[in-house]
Amino acid sequence: MKFSTQTISTIQQLLVEDFKRQVGQEAIGVDEIEQALRDGLQGIGRNSYGEMLSLLDEHQYQVEERCKCQQMGKRVSRREAQLLSVFGRAKYKRSYYHCADCGRRWMPLDESQELRPGRATRLMSSLLGIAGVSVAFEEAQHQIQRYLQVEVSPNTIRQETQWIGEKQAEQERLWQARSQDLTYLQQREQAPERHQRLYGSMDGAFVPVEQEWKEAKLISWYQVGERYGHNELHAQAIHHYVSLEEAAKFGELVWATAVEHQADRAEELVFVCDGAAWIWKLIEQYFPQAVQIVDWYHACQYLYPVAEALFEAPEQQTEWLEKMKAFLWEGEVEVVIQTCQNLQVKAGAAVQRLITYYRNNQERMRYAAFRQANYLIGSGTVESGCKQVVSLRLKRSGATWSLAGASATAKARAAWLSGSWDSLCSLPLVA
């Protein structure tokens, strides 16, 4: 809907005329004008919203309405309710029906418009959720009061934020069911669109949950291109999905999101991850044909403790590191392993850790061949995702979460950072 220009103009003229009557009587500053307009328009919005909902009910619903049992229910009365809107708490009246045949009682306006009496409207819920995934709920309370001039409790912000996260969880459950539907998977094969090359990365970050630390696992799907004006590759069209479940259960989410992003149908699927065993186990299980690359920077990290154990002088450490990195850069993993084996007595445990890691991931470290194929060899996308989705919001000083609260908040934040917030908030409500 859209209000007429004449209506808007009339309201404007009335406000200006009221100002004319006051302007000569007292000194008025521009800040006072702005705040007075803000207060007045907010009041107009709050009261008009409630009255318009009441009018909508009067227009749409009659003395009788058909019940779900197909019998006619009678309107008993019109009952008042309150909604938390972007203008504040608005009151409205809606018809209340009773079916004598099955005993059902309902309010058609609330059901058809997905209104939640006593709770936030869809638009206000979205705004509260954005605040809730960005900062602590207590801080979000102060921001909302400043931005919208609406008093809400931290608990209300938490409730709405996690409600959106639960919608994301419900959507993921639907994806998981669909990813196991053979008919659906066969129908997808007929679609002509395929990604030429799609990337996936997995990682984890620990969250304080119920007086212990629990790993939040993240899968990031993305494409790679050259940044305008630069030659280096960078990730784009990034979508993050998070779960606090164990690796086997997380794998079901990985597969479901892969199906949604057509990863299973991509002409070329590339995974760039660190060396965690659970990650590569899931990749082998669900995507055995994918290109597997161990993150270059993780691989190099194993060299530093060895250099420190071998040499005291920083210059010697740097010289040795650059030499080993050059071998790695060319994919000559065996040369590095052999060199370090010869130094095992001097470097001890640091060398053994390097040798074990490099042997386990030898074919995932052919960096010369990967660069030749123009693959991205760094997993910074998912590492940044772990920091942005998990650490910056769920690991704030003093934070302690319930498992359900941490999961819902993380899923809501992942949706916000992935650019799917509006589409998620527009989905039908979950119970």
Is residue 152 one of the residues assigned to a domain?
Answer: no
Return the SS3 of 400.
coil
Distance CA 225, CA 231 (A): 9
Q: Predicted confidence band at 429 (pLDDT cuts at 50, 70, 90)?
A: low
Asked whether 223 and 195 are in contact (CB, 8 A), the reply is yes
Is residue 357 one of the residues assigned to a domain?
Answer: yes
pLDDT at residue 151 greater than cutoff 80: yes
Structural domain total, the chain: 2
Asked whether 140 and 169 are in contact (CB, 8 A), the reply is no
Average pLDDT over residues 341-365: 87
pLDDT at residue 210 greater than cutoff 80: yes
Q: Over the chain, what is the mean pLDDT?
A: 93
The whole-model pTM stands at 0.91
Return the SS3 of 318.
helix
Is residue 233 one of the residues assigned to a domain?
Answer: no
> What is the pLDDT, as a whole number, of residue 21?
87
pLDDT at residue 431 greater than cutoff 50: no
Residue in 217, 226, 335 with CA at minimum distance from that of residue 276: 217
Average pLDDT over residues 344-366: 88
Name residue 271's beta-bridge partners.
Answer: 200, 292
Q: Which of 119, 141, 166 is the last residue of a domain?
A: 119
Distance CA 76, CA 63 (A): 9
Q: What is the pLDDT of residues 101-130, one digit of tens each?
A: 999 999 999 999 999 999 999 999 999 999
pLDDT at residue 227 greater than cutoff 90: no
Residue in 287, 259, 256 with CA at minimum distance from that of residue 272: 287
Distance CA 412, CA 132 (A): 9
- Block residue for tokens 């479940």: 245
> What is the pLDDT, as a whole number, of residue 397?
82
Distance CA 83, CA 396 (A): 31
pLDDT at residue 134 greater than cutoff 60: yes
pLDDT at residue 383 greater than cutoff 60: yes
Q: Rounded to whole angstroms, what are the CA distances from 361 to 118, 136, 229, 280, 347?
A: 55, 40, 34, 10, 21
Is residue 210 one of the residues assigned to a domain?
Answer: no
Is residue 157 one of the residues assigned to a domain?
Answer: no
pLDDT > 70 in the chain, percent: 97
Is residue 115 one of the residues assigned to a domain?
Answer: yes
Q: Which of 342, 369, 396 is the last residue of a domain?
A: 369
Is residue 248 one of the residues assigned to a domain?
Answer: no
Least confident of 48-57, 91-100, 189-198: 189-198
> What is the pLDDT, as a whole number, of residue 321?
96
> What is the pLDDT, as a whole number, of residue 230?
62
pLDDT at residue 219 greater than cutoff 60: yes
Q: Residue 58's domain spans which residues? A: 30-119
Output phi, psi for 268, to 5 deg.
-145, 125
Is residue 317 one of the residues assigned to a domain?
Answer: yes
Q: How are beta strands 269-273 and 198-209 bridged, if at all?
A: parallel
For the chain, give the number of residues. 431
Token readout for 100 is 């004598």
Q: Rounded to whole angstroms, what are the CA distances from 192 to 182, 188, 197, 222?
A: 18, 9, 15, 20
- Block residue for tokens 């934020």: 161
Q: Which of 336, 369, 402 is the last residue of a domain?
A: 369
